[in-house]
Copies of this chain bind each other. A is one copy, B any other.
Amino acid sequence: MMATKGALVLEPNEWLLDPSDCPGFRGNEVVAQKQSGDIIHHTEYLFFNTPKRYALININDKVEEIVSRSGVQDGFAFVSAMHITAGVYINDAESGLLNDIAIWIESLAPFGQPYMHHATGEDNGDAHLKSYLTNPSLSAPITAGRLDFGTWQKIFYAEFDGQRRKRVMVKVTGIR
């Protein structure tokens, strides 16, 4: 089940990346705000340009900030990778586990296979399958103005074909 080292583009621990260490990261951009009475819909994009091909980035604090900014007290933060070679997931921020996740995803959807998609000139067939496994989006619940999470739940952005500009949408909806 474990990937052989040769199959990995990066060592697992090279997948870990903090938003503040991501030179391509820049601040949020408010895209839309719509309100009807006490109902608020607040949308922002986050931008990433990871220095390496793969990255697992804890964006939980970024999402929390957007939730605060939205004014929503009860509802959801919908978080979506707007590219089909990336994804989002919720799990523990422990570094050993992040390595395990990198190795595991690589083992289930390995780089460098003879994917038919590569006839287009791309070499990122694995990234599309990694995205399928990871899911494009998730909803994080908000209660009393904060993410209503268990202690170890953290939202991650998973980049599987970086080194280019990518967007993540955060749409916060609910009652103020």
CB of A32 within 8 A of CB of B74, answer yes
Distance, CA A113 to CA B36, complexed state (A):
52
Contact yes or no, A80 B125, CB < 8 A: no
Stretch at the interface among A19-27, A38-46, A61-69: A38-46
Q: Is the CB of A116 within 8 A of B136?
A: no
Determine if A143 is an interface residue (Cβ-Cβ < 8 Å): yes
Task: For A125, list chain B residues within 8 Å (CB).
Answer: 97, 100
Closest to A89 in B: B132
Which residues of B sit under 8 angstroms from A82, Cβ to Cβ?
A: 149-150, 153
A41 surroundings in chain B (CB, below 8 A): 74-75, 174-175
Task: Tell me the complex Cα distance, A165–B105, Å.
Answer: 29
A52 within 8 A of B: no
Enumerate chain B residues within 8 angstroms of A118, measured Cβ to Cβ: 96
Minimum CB–CB distance for A11 against chain B, Å: 12
Inter-chain contact A78/B76, CB cutoff 8 Å: yes
User: For the complex, is A10 an interface residue (Cβ under 8 Å from B)?
Assistant: no
* Closest chain B CB from A142 CB (angstroms): 9
Which of A34, A84, A101 has the most B CB atoms < 10 Å from its CB? A84
Neighbouring B residues of A153 by C-beta, 8 Å:
82-84, 136
Which chain B residues border A139 with CB–CB below 8 Å?
78, 137, 139
Residue from the list B2, B37, B148, B152 in contact with A43, Cβ < 8 A: B148
